[in-house]
Amino acid sequence: MKDFFLQLKDKFAKPIEEDEDLEQTDTYVELGAAPSKDEQSKVLVRPFVIEEFEDIKEILDVLREGSTIALVNIKPLKDKDLVELKRAVSKLRKTCEAIEGDIAGFGEDYVVAVPYFASIHRNKVTQLDE
């Protein structure tokens, strides 16, 4: 990078006649390669385990970044303290609403939270009239 700036300095410091000669020669400066589109658009599916209410902070941070789908195992907190579990799930739900994401239960022991670009399929349960 230093060489690039030195070349610019030399180019602007030389008289105009010499600049015409420089225009005829092609010189290129290689800058770093930009990350490919595939690397930028990848989605990460990441498992989490909530053993205490404080464990929710990492999940919320990852969801706010917007490129991660969180699979959250709530069983340890469910077995330990239902009040804390309700607080944690409520906080997750409010964050998902704020980022325009979605959240749903997955079995009895898992919660799935997704950012704005994804939605969770839900089967419509219909009751049969008997």
Q: What is the largest CA-CA distance in the chain?
A: 96
Q: How far is residue 95's CA from residue 97's CA, in Å, rounded to a whole number?
A: 5
Question: CA angle at residue 97 from 121 to 49, to 5 degrees?
Answer: 70
Task: Report, as ranges of residue numbers, the positions in the chain whose pLDDT lies below 70.
Answer: 1-2, 4-5, 8-9, 11-26, 28-40, 125-130
Tens-place pLDDT, residues 52-83 = 999 999 999 999 998 899 999 999 999 999 99
Residue 42: per-residue pLDDT: 84
Tokens of 94: 């409010």
Residue 73: per-residue pLDDT: 95
Q: What is the pTM of this model?
A: 0.62
* Residue whose pair of structure tokens reads 């700036």 in the numeric block: 5
Domain annotation for the chain: domains and CATH numbers: 37-114 (3.30.110.150)
Residue 122: per-residue pLDDT: 86
Helix (H) or strand (E) holding 76: helix 75-80
Query: Residue 97 class from Cβ within 10 Å (0-12 exposed, 13-18 middle, 19+ buried)?
Result: exposed
Query: Residue 63 class from Cβ within 10 Å (0-12 exposed, 13-18 middle, 19+ buried)?
Result: buried
Residue 123: per-residue pLDDT: 82
Q: How far is residue 46's CA from residue 61's CA, in Å, rounded to a whole number?
A: 13
Q: How far is residue 95's CA from residue 68's CA, in Å, rounded to a whole number?
A: 14
* Residue whose pair of structure tokens reads 């309700």 in the numeric block: 86
